[in-house]
């Protein structure tokens, strides 16, 4: 692959080989502005790669080093996400500055990059996630316009098409065995949501993050029957 070398000083030693891939959007007005920040030693943030809207790929941090992209985060029992992941920033202004669909050239480059990364590291499909998955309630990226289905159809990531399902919606304030089962399912998938049987703010945040990734036409934090059916289908697909 062709990369534009743009070294960032913001990295340190890994704790283990990477087995998680975290996709982000930059959430800044322009790509050059984001690139400057990812290379600013004062900002103390970075990623391994940044993909511009026209498909150019910048390499900032060697994969063998830990980039500082995920912050406080969790997935499948791992809390040191930076130490065991590769971070890819995808140029997009994000929800704050005019969120819009990701151009085809950019997504084609992301697909090629993800395949290239996976040729070197063992990263399972269910460990290819968004920043909002590992930090729900704190981050929204890469968001509901990111084409996770297209990425999965190219062979990278977990995706299913669950049929419509009935069931009363579960929302904040609900309690009981159905809420417990819902939380247990999200925990099994990878989210940090210890079952309490109480649908609280943390549960709303996880449902919202899940919808941004796996039910993008409905992002409201309410676990209706279709959202729960999608979760069950994903758990079956993940094994």
| Cα(25)–Cα(8) distance, integer angstroms | 18
**Catalytic residue status for 33:** no
Q: Which of 52, 78, 89, 144 is catalytic?
A: 89
Percent helix / strand / coil, the chain, rounded to 5: 35, 15, 50
Q: What is the DSSP annotation of 72-122?
A: S--BTTBS-TGGGEEEEEE---TTTTT--PPPHHHHHHHHHHHHHHHTTS-
Which string of b and e fits 39-51 if b means at least 16 CB within 10 Å? beeeeebbbbbbb
Q: Is the four-CA dihedral 109, 115, 121, 127 of positive or negative sign? A: positive
- Residues with catalytic function: 89
């Amino acid at each position: 692959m062709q990369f534009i070398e743009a070294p960032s000083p913001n990295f340190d030693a890994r704790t283990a080989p990477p087995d998680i891939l975290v996709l982000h959007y930059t959430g800044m007005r322009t790509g050059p502005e984001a690139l400057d920040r990812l290379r600013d030693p004062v900002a103390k943030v970075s990623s391994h790669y940044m993909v511009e809207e026209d498909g150019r790929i910048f390499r900032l941090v060697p994969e063998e080093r830990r980039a500082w992209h995920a912050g406080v985060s969790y997935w499948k029992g791992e809390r040191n996400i930076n130490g065991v992941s590769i971070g890819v920033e995808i140029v997009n202004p994000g929800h704050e500055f005019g969120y819009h669909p990701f151009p085809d050239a950019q997504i084609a480059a992301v697909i090629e990059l993800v395949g290239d990364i996976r040729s070197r590291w063992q990263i399972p499909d269910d460990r290819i996630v968004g920043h909002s998955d590992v930090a729900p309630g704190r981050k929204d990226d890469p968001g509901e316009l990111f084409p996770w289905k297209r990425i999965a159809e190219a062979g990278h990531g977990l995706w299913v098409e669950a049929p419509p399902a009935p069931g009363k919606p579960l929302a904040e304030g609900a309690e009981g065995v159905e809420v417990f089962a819902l939380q247990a399912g999200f925990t099994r998938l990878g989210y940090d949501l210890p079952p309490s049987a109480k649908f609280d703010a943390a549960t709303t945040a996880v449902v919202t993050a899940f919808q941004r990734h796996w039910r993008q036409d409905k992002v409201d934090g309410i676990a209706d029957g279709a959202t729960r059916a999608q979760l069950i289908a994903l758990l079956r697909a993940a094994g």
